[in-house]
Amino acid sequence: MQEQRLRQQIEQVLAEIDNLPLLACEQREQLELLLVALEQELTTGVPGGSYSMLEQLEMIGVELESEHPTLALVVRNMTRTMNAIGV
């Protein structure tokens, strides 16, 4: 159930990224790469360095806070869900 919630949050972040033309290219690329790696981990069940992904997502959430608060909130929710399911 939590994995499905995380997948929904991934989709929500991807949708938010598409709606934010001012998101810096570097931030966009970094976030998209992390989300792809996370989806792959969820699909295969093979850990791909989740702790590092979690830390990177938390840092991106902090960076986005002032300019893109909605996206930052979704990213923070993702990190909470990842912690809850042990990803």
- Rounded average pLDDT over 58-85: 85
Which pLDDT score is estimated for 57? 84
| Tokens 């960076």, located at residue | 63
Which pLDDT score is estimated for 47? 63
Which pLDDT score is estimated for 51? 59
pLDDT tens-digit map of 8-66 = 888 888 888 887 776 666 777 888 888 888 888 888 876 655 557 788 888 888 888 88
Which pLDDT score is estimated for 48? 59
